[in-house]
Amino acid sequence: MARYGQVFKNKVVAKLLPPNTASLEEISREVGVSIDTLERWRAESLTMPARERAWSAGARLNAVITTAAMDESSCSAWCRENGVYPQELDAWRASATQALAEPQEQRASPKETAADRKRIKELERELRRKEKALAETAALLVLSKKLEAIFHKGEDE
């Protein structure tokens, strides 16, 4: 009998619950879990309080898009129906807006990326050279100490 982690179960169940609501057969084929098991996982998830259910990033974005054109009363009704607080929905909206704001600052241009790769390669090469020099110096130091110990011991006799 296969054992699945809670993270895997949560991801699969998130696909089965609103707003995604994919069919059991489709999800069963996709993840290779029997329909009976998926039904049991969904039932267990639905018995949990709505506040404890995990919303995937796509589901949160879909919720924000769905409620964007609604007035306050219909948005509140939607929130009650789906077990989400309006403040939580507002936080999701702010998070999505912030993630989409000024994408040019967050992404490096291909030219900068190539320059960064070249610089990293140079730094790695220099680091390897210095590590070799340090290892050689350490070996010479150890050998000189051994040599000193051997000849110093011989002079005493």
Task: List pLDDT tens digits, range 66-117.
Answer: 898 899 899 888 888 877 888 888 988 988 888 777 666 666 778 888 899 9
Read off the pTM: 0.39
Quick check: 130 pLDDT over 80? yes
CA distance 29 to 39: 14
CA distance 48 to 4: 19
| Closest residue by Cα to residue 66 from 8, 112, 21, 115 | 21
Of the listed ranges 94-98, 118-122, 135-139, 143-147, the one predicted with least confidence: 94-98
State the Rg of the chain over Cα. Answer: 31
Cβ(35)–Cβ(43) under 8 Å?
no
CA distance 110 to 108: 6
